[in-house]
Amino acid sequence: MRLTRYFLPVLKETPSEAQIVSHRLMLRAGMIKQASAGIYSWLPLGFKVLRKIENIVHDEQARAGHIPIQMPILQSADLWRESGRYDAFGEEMLRMQDRHGREMLYTPTAEELVTDIFRAHVGSYKDLPLTLYQIQWKFRDEVRPRFGVMRGREFYMKDGYNFDLTKDAALHAYNRHLVSYLRTYERMGLQAIPMRADSGAMGGDNTHEFLVLAETGESEVFYDAEITDLKFGDRAVDYDSVEQCQAVLEEFTSRYARTDETHDEALFAQVPEDRRRRARGIEVGQIFYFGTKYSEALGATVVTPDGSRVPVHMGSHGIGVSRLLGAIIEASHDERGIIWPEGVTPFHCGIVNLKQGDAAADAACDSLYKALTAKGLEPLYDDRTERAGAKFATMDLIGLPWRITVGPRGLDKGVVELTSRRTGDSEEMSPEAAVDRIAQIYS
């Protein structure tokens, strides 16, 4: 993409309404624009990152064997009356009427709707196990929407639902989700720690939240510092294997790690003092096993091998897709702007032309652009006739992990400069070598 043809409305001024760094940077980098309280339009750069995050989520869901569907945003109140949550959900649920006076609502989550799909089409143990998920906009009328996309009213969420014959099978689904979430967040360059959480209004007793440590996090967390050394890496876990998923669960959840809702001082005191940490975290996901709560309420049953009928065991599992943009920026930025992890960066690298209009510099940038594109990479070429300083400031603000700087002086020696956004280190090399290096980084 050439910057002169793109739509990147960066702000010079720091927006005064934004209290935390990720919100400020998303506004300054022209990623989002507030439409009304807690509701945002996604501008090209923000939308691109949102899509990258979404794609990683889809990819890892596929790896775990989960099946994508899409359910509607507007739902009828009837199903929610059947489950008893129409009243229980309270003021967070946005309610409305259609022209016939039928009560409708904007989906805050979708246990009822997915259970209705299940009960209509599945009747036998032979169809289990089954996990359906979607990535869809949700609406919760939060009392205090704030921090940009971190606590919006409208937000984008992956919500998945497992259906299993027995409690043991459903607990395997729970473990499988935990494993796949570890891999999902790591691919985004994030460390998200599974912590024992409170099941709240969802009911049930097995639940973990995934938290990204950050000073601006809304949750208070307590953990054993050893946890931050754990890496999932690229281990090949067989998601069908009960033992393998169980082993990962034990490795990642056996040390003390809890949100304030489940925090236990006496247990925490057993962690060696030098490893005890109290910090703040951003909740980027949560997994639940809640048994037969919704299947009993809505009559979602299956026939067992011996011919009896039982309600299915269920769980639900969420990832805050839009909140993740804020969480990634909170975890990865400096005073000049965002530093995107390679896994989610909107463009693979930037090209800065120090002397736009100079025939040799223009030609070198064009050929770099073509060579990168030919390798399946997406560069952002700053082809504006601006001062070098302004171009560098824009690149630093929008946080592309790699920048190639091209100028007449370097070209005389046959070199361009490759700079890492994270370390600031620069290296001179031939344009061909720069292309190869970037291709290798993303391979």
Which residues sit at the interface with ligand ATP, rule CB under 6 A? 109, 140, 142, 151-152, 155, 157, 283-286, 318, 320, 322-323
Q: How far apart are the first and last CA of the chain?
A: 20
Closest CA to 369 of 349, 355, 354, 387: 349
Q: Which is nearer to ligand ATP, 271 or 314 (CB)?
A: 314
Which among ligand ATP, Mg ion, none contacts residue 151 (Cβ within 5 to 8 A by kind)? ligand ATP
Phi, psi of 160 (to 5 degrees): -120, 150
Closest CA to 257 of 316, 177, 195, 337: 195
Q: Which is nearer to Mg ion, 286 or 322 (CB)?
A: 286
Structure tokens of 416?
């361009």
- Min dist CB 286 to Mg ion, Å, is 4
- Min dist CB 120 to ligand ATP, Å, is 25
Which among ligand ATP, Mg ion, none contacts residue 320 (Cβ within 5 to 8 A by kind)? ligand ATP
Closest CA to 216 of 123, 283, 265: 283
How far apart are the C-alpha atoms of 79 and 153, rounded to whole Å? 22
Q: Which is nearer to ligand ATP, 125 or 174 (CB)?
A: 174
Closest residue to Mg ion, judged by C-beta, is: 286
Q: Which is nearer to Mg ion, 286 or 295 (CB)?
A: 286
- Min dist CB 321 to ligand ATP, Å, is 8
Binding site for Mg ion (CB under 5 A): 286
Which among Mg ion, ligand ATP, none contacts residue 141 (Cβ within 5 to 8 A by kind)? none
Closest residue to ligand ATP, judged by C-beta, is: 320
- Min dist CB 148 to ligand ATP, Å, is 9
> Are 181 and 192 spatial neighbours (Cβ–Cβ below 8 Å)?
yes
How far apart are the C-alpha atoms of 390 and 384, rounded to whole Å? 10
Is residue 236 classed as helix, strand or coil in its secondary structure? coil
Closest CA to 365 of 265, 435, 283, 272: 435
- Min dist CB 322 to ligand ATP, Å, is 6
Which among Mg ion, ligand ATP, none contacts residue 140 (Cβ within 5 to 8 A by kind)? ligand ATP
- Min dist CB 25 to ligand ATP, Å, is 17
Q: Which is nearer to ligand ATP, 155 or 369 (CB)?
A: 155
Q: Cα 343 to chain center, whole Å?
A: 11
- Sequence-distant (≥ 6) Cβ neighbours of residue 367 within 8 angstroms: 431
Q: Which is nearer to Mg ion, 317 or 348 (CB)?
A: 317
Q: For the chain, how big is the Rg over CA atoms in Å?
A: 24
